[in-house]
Amino acid sequence: MPQSDTVNRRLVLAARPRGLPTPAHFRLEEGAVPAPAEGQVLLRTLYLSLDPYMRQLMDEVAPIYAASVPLGQPMVGGTVNRVVASKHPRFRAGELVLGNAGWQDYALSDGQDLMPLGEMARPSLALGALGMPAFTAHVGLLDIGQPRPGETVVVAAATGAVGAMVGQIARLKGARVVGIAGGADKCRHAVDVLGFDACLDRHDPALAERLAAACPKGIDVYFENVGGPVFDAVLPLFNIGARVPVCGHIADYNADGETQGTNRLPLLMASLLQKRIRMQGFVILDHYGERFEAFRREMGDWIERGEVRPMEDIVEGLEHAPAGFIGLLQGRNFGKRVVRVADEN
């Protein structure tokens, strides 16, 4: 279903899910393309980012750092856009920008949330390896994890948008990197392409034993973005003074009511105390003003020199965004999942 010059397709939140979303929780609507008022720009969406945090915003009570998506309104999301028309002094028609147009073909903006991108050979990277996921990896690992040469760094969802970047940055800093991923193909990619020292299948019933064998000197840094049974396997292996950046816990995002499973709190509290562990949550929105440009320069240099390899998982067509998002929550993505909404021109 190609993008139209006159029709604005929007994928809106039709109902609030309990547990894993289904296609019935989204509704495709069509309307007229809006016209910009004075001080506004009209954006055409080229690429749409799909990210786990969007699941939390589908709930009536969302995380304190963002508002819930209202029923009947477009799902939120980062986007790469072309400026179609501008009545704003800082933007011109034809310009490529990073925005937040959400799950729709066209959107209006007052310019406050837009970042000029210039012309990029791969504009979609602004949503992944040169955007929020890699920035999350960069800030969390280097500010909180602070890996030192020879230390052991473990990261779950190792071939996901954030985890793949965490492992590659840790490798550049001289650490030994152990990934955890969903399936043999992903684990092979982490080792053979991304340069991890080892990668384990999270579905393996013997994960805890295999992780202990892969980390004979214990774990110095664990980048937490999953939670659940993976954290159960990691927790006993922390060294004294371990650091744990926490950017997410996707294993719990689709929980229907109370999170089920083992009560980890007593062991966690004892481990934090006895092993002097630093476990710190962070929200990447807090760091854009002071850090983002420096990150983009450093990451751009690493990519240009071939020291970091971007991973993208492209979904074709806005109408397939719901299926792509549901698959992301099930761990079916291989790299940063991005929807190609329209051609770049």
Give the pLDDT band of residue 336 (cuts 50, 70, 90). very high
What is the token pair recorded at 154?
Answer: 């473990």
Instruction: Give the predicted TM-score (pTM) of the model.
Output: 0.91
Give the pLDDT band of residue 248 (cuts 50, 70, 90). confident
Dihedrals φ, ψ of 312, to 5°?
-125, 140
User: What's the pLDDT score for residue 289?
Assistant: 85
pLDDT in tens, 38-49: 999 999 999 999
User: What's the pLDDT score for residue 255?
Assistant: 64
pLDDT in tens, 145-179: 999 999 999 999 999 999 999 999 999 999 999 99
8 Å CB contact between 74 and 10: yes
**Considering the chain, what is the average pLDDT of its residues?**
94
pLDDT in tens, 61-116: 888 888 999 999 999 999 999 999 999 999 999 999 999 999 999 999 999 999 99
Mean pLDDT of 114-126: 94
Give the full edge-to-edge strand order of the sheet including 198-201: 198-201, 176-181, 152-156, 219-223, 238-246, 278-281
DSSP 8-state secondary structure symbol assigned to residue 15:
S
Closest CA to 82 of 41, 43, 120: 43
pLDDT in tens, 308-335: 999 999 999 999 999 999 999 999 999 9
